[in-house]
């Protein structure tokens, strides 16, 4: 078993380069299936979710060639079967984007049903299904697989019941090859939705309005190959920004799009940090103490839910009592029990967490319950006094590239250590 060992407290100082966006990459890699020629994707993050997406493509019959660490050439022109193997797909929730892409390309596809919850609440896919059915597909669940099939996809007018990134992306993937016009209303406006639209358009699709509430897609018969560079990861950038503020640090976060970080910048400034914006970097510093703030997560351009656990750590060492409201997921506070072990004072009632600032957290053995919870525990380990051991780091490595190296580059005392399972068992026993 691998763990992160962190010796705190640390003050982060220096520069960190942000990788390509996970949530854009896991949508754009399946989209390559729609092209009738090879594609080249640049600024690919080296993380487990991307490796799984590439592995799925390979299993479907695509040829994958890494040109260098961040550039991949994908030839998906000869697909063997439009069905995503169960064993690989179940390891990643976003594998359901292959369904939209296969439906767009072959009018038929099957992937494993995505897992239930990984941070406490339910994660339904009813809006994906509603979208596919509106385009004329028949959708069924069979032996744990979700299957969609259409004679011909026909453009349609779809009003999503709630704002969902996943359904917006999945239905876009299918609609680019549907016959006629598709209008999607009440769509997600996240940077990765816009990035996917830009990639599809660079292949010859006709997608307009991404980044607004309404996306209009005029279906085309053929999509060509393209070379495309994935946007920087908004959440990885935000994680380092929060870590810098929490550790009283001075960090230049490079390779970012500052516009994507505005909601994060606003909250850090309100809490007492200073954020300077440059063309493709932000510098986060802090001189005075951290202050309480109230925070509500919302779909973009609101404050991202994927930074809520990291902010909870920062607020747990801020002066006063802060209130966090989770506005996207029913429940995203599974990590709070772990933070309590480190001395945080957080009370949760449904979607609301009341965070009472304490002087100091103390290091403890903790477990990453999901990806962003894991990132939050790293920040907690950096601000805490003494040693923190983070278990279940596979969750973190799904979405953060070289996370220990990057934090070490900023002065953190953090190491990934392989602990033999037997020793762990003995220690537990």
| Catalytic-residue membership of 147 | no
User: Does the footprint of ligand EPU cover residue 355 (CB under 6 A)?
Assistant: no
| E-strand stretches of 289-426 | 294-296, 321-325, 345-349, 352-356, 365-367, 386-391, 413-418
| Minimum distance of ligand EPU from residue 52's CB (angstroms) | 12
User: Does the footprint of ligand EPU cover residue 213 (CB under 6 A)?
Assistant: no
Which residues fall within 8 angstroms of residue 314, CB to CB, at 6 or more apart? 242, 245, 246, 271, 290, 379
Stretch that binds ligand EPU, among 157-165, 284-292, 386-394, 420-428 (CB under 6 A): 157-165
Q: Which of 23, 83, 156, 247 binds ligand EPU (CB under 6 A)?
A: 23
Q: Which of 166, 309, 343, 374 binds ligand EPU (CB under 6 A)?
A: 166
Q: Is the peptide bond before 9 cis (omega within 30 degrees of 0)?
A: yes
User: How many positions of this chain bind ligand EPU (CB under 6 A)?
Assistant: 22
User: Does the footprint of ligand EPU cover residue 174 (CB under 6 A)?
Assistant: no
Longest dimension (CA), the chain: 63
Angle, in degrees to the nearest 10, between helices 371-383 and 234-246: 20
Sign of the CA dihedral 103, 39, 46, 188? negative
| Minimum distance of ligand EPU from residue 131's CB (angstroms) | 9
User: Does the footprint of ligand EPU cover residue 48 (CB under 6 A)?
Assistant: no
Kindly report the backbone phi and psi dihedral angles of residue 38, in degrees, each rounded to the nearest multiple of 5, phi listed first.
-65, 155
Stretch that binds ligand EPU, among 65-73, 159-167, 211-219, 387-395 (CB under 6 A): 159-167
CB nearer to ligand EPU: give 3 or 22: 22
CB nearer to ligand EPU: give 26 or 377: 26
Q: Measured between alpha carbons, how far is residue 312 from residues 293, 369, 385 in Å?
A: 10, 15, 18
Strand bridging mode 2-8 / 413-418: antiparallel
Stretch that binds ligand EPU, among 55-63, 121-129, 141-149, 342-350 (CB under 6 A): 121-129
| Minimum distance of ligand EPU from residue 126's CB (angstroms) | 5
DSSP single-letter state for residue 260? G
User: Does the footprint of ligand EPU cover residue 369 (CB under 6 A)?
Assistant: no
Of 377-406, which residues contact ligand EPU (CB under 6 A)?
A: 399
Site string for ligand EPU, 241-280 (x = CB under 6 A): ----------------------------------------
User: Does the footprint of ligand EPU cover residue 123 (CB under 6 A)?
Assistant: yes
Q: Is 150:109 a contact under the CB 8 Å cutoff?
A: no
| E-strand stretches of 243-344 | 250-254, 273-277, 281-286, 294-296, 321-325
User: Does the footprint of ligand EPU cover residue 408 (CB under 6 A)?
Assistant: no
| Minimum distance of ligand EPU from residue 336's CB (angstroms) | 17
H-type alpha helices, 123-233: 126-134, 165-175, 191-202
| Minimum distance of ligand EPU from residue 233's CB (angstroms) | 9
Tokens (6 digits) for 68: 């260098």
User: Does the footprint of ligand EPU cover residue 372 (CB under 6 A)?
Assistant: yes
Q: Which of 233, 306, 397, 401 binds ligand EPU (CB under 6 A)?
A: 306
User: Does the footprint of ligand EPU cover residue 113 (CB under 6 A)?
Assistant: no
Q: How far apart are CA 340 and CA 36, in angstroms?
A: 52
User: Does the footprint of ligand EPU cover residue 116 (CB under 6 A)?
Assistant: no
CB nearer to ligand EPU: give 124 or 301: 124
Helices H / strands E in the chain, number of each: 15, 23
Q: Which of 39, 117, 147, 385 is catalytic?
A: 117
Q: What is the dihedral of CA 280, 261, 128, 39, to 10 degrees?
A: 10
SS3 129: helix
Interface residues with ligand EPU (CB under 6 A)? Answer: 23, 26, 94, 123-128, 162, 164-167, 188, 305-306, 328-329, 371-372, 399
* Catalytic residue annotation: 117
């Amino acid at each position: 078993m691998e763990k992160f060992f962190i010796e705190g407290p640390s003050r982060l100082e220096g520069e960190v380069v942000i990788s390509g966006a996970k949530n854009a990459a896991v949508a754009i890699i399946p989209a390559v299936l729609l092209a009738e020629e090879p594609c080249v994707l640049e600024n690919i993050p080296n993380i487990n979710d991307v490796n799984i997406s590439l592995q799925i493509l390979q299993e479907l019959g695509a040829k994958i060639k890494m040109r260098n660490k961040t550039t991949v050439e994908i030839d998906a022109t000869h697909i063997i079967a439009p069905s995503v193997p169960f064993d690989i797909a179940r390891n990643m929730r976003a594998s359901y984007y292959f369904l939209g892409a296969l439906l767009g390309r072959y009018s038929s596809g099957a992937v494993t049903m995505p897992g239930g919850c990984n941070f406490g609440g339910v994660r339904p896919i009813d809006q994906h299904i509603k979208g596919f059915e509106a385009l004329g597909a028949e959708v069924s669940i069979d032996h744990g697989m979700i299957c969609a099939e259409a004679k011909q996809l026909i453009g349609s007018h779809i009003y999503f019941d709630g704002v969902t990134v996943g359904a917006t992306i999945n239905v876009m993937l299918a609609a680019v090859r549907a016959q006629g016009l598709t209008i999607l209303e009440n769509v997600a406006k996240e940077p990765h939705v816009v990035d996917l639209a830009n990639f599809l358009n660079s292949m010859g699709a006709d997608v307009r309005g991404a980044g607004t509430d309404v996306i209009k897609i005029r279906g085309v018969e053929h999509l060509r190959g393209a070379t495309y560079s994935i946007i920087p990861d908004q959440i990885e950038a935000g994680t380092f920004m929060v870590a810098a503020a929490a550790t009283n640090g001075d960090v230049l976060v490079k390779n970012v799009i500052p516009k994507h970080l505005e909601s994060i910048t606003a909250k850090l400034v309100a809490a007492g940090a200073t954020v300077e914006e440059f063309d493709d970097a932000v510098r986060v510093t802090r001189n005075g103490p951290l202050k309480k703030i109230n925070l509500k997560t919302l779909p973009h351009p609101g404050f991202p839910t994927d930074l809520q656990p990291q902010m909870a750590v920062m607020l747990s060492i801020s002066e006063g009592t802060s209130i966090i409201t989770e506005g996207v997921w029913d429940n995203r506070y599974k990590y709070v029990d772990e933070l309590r072990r480190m001395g945080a004072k957080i009370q949760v009632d449904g979607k609301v967490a009341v965070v009472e600032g304490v002087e100091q957290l103390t290091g403890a053995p903790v477990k990453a319950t999901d990806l962003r919870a894991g990132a939050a525990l790293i920040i907690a380990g950096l601000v805490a006094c003494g040693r923190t051991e983070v278990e279940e780091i596979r969750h973190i490595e799904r979405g953060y590239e070289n996370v220990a190296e990057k934090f070490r580059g900023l002065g953190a005392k953090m190491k990934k250590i392989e602990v033999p399972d037997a020793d762990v068992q003995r220690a537990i026993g």
